[in-house]
Copies of this chain bind each other. A is one copy, B any other.
């Protein structure tokens, strides 16, 4: 979560502990309150009790920091389904649940938007969000990569778009999406 120093060197003053956590926490809270675009890094630094310099030393941009924060807040997907269908079910449920958290929601919507503009954010988002889930399904259950990719996009995209246009998402919606995706991938 906390990005390593650019040089692996142990020379010089070590990074103060807890700083990255404080920054991520501050950003998550501010984004939940004012939205992604409405959150500026000066405020994040001030809230975290840290100088802006420190912030830019650890992350290259607002987007990179936010991706990090999203990954932290989102947590890891569940593991240990008994078969592919079960795994998919768990993953979709977990995602639908997490997305109903305001913090996750605001971050995710803001970042997907940013991904449309900033290529770095797009790559980071893909690597940190889609790939972990997809790789697991491919490696463990031998599902076809193309299908899985589409399935993930279908889940995330649908839920997100629903949020963007409705501002809300119901348990029933999540259930439906689960069914669709299970049917799609699991033959």
Q: Which residues of A contact B (CB under 8 A)?
A: 35-38, 106, 109-110, 112-117, 119, 122, 125-126, 130, 150, 153-154, 156-167, 173, 176-177, 180, 184
A36 contact set on B, CB distance < 8 A? 116-117
A117 contact set on B, CB distance < 8 A? 35-38, 110
Q: In the assembly, what is the distance between CA of A176 and CA of B180, in Å?
A: 12
Chain B nearest CB from A73 CB (Å) reads: 16
- Contact residue among B113, B122, B177, B180 (Cβ-Cβ distance under 8 Å from A113): B113
Chain B residue nearest to A147 in the complex (CB): B176
- Contact residue among B125, B164, B180 (Cβ-Cβ distance under 8 Å from A165): B125
Contact B110 A164 (CB under 8 A): no
Q: In the assembly, what is the distance between CA of A154 and CA of B35, in Å?
A: 24
Contact B115 A112 (CB under 8 A): no
Chain B residue nearest to A126 in the complex (CB): B165
Can you show 14 pairs from A to B with CB atoms below 8 A apart?
A112-B161, A112-B164, A112-B165, A116-B163, A122-B167, A125-B165, A130-B165, A150-B176, A150-B177, A153-B165, A154-B180, A158-B158, A160-B161, A161-B161
Interface centre among A35, A153, A159 (most CB of B within 10 A): A153
- Contact residue among B113, B122, B157, B159 (Cβ-Cβ distance under 8 Å from A116): B113
Contact B184 A180 (CB under 8 A): yes
Chain B nearest CB from A134 CB (Å) reads: 11
Q: In the assembly, what is the distance between CA of A160 and CA of B157, in Å?
A: 7
A122 contact set on B, CB distance < 8 A? 164-165, 167
A114 contact set on B, CB distance < 8 A? 113
Contact A154 B150 (CB under 8 A): no
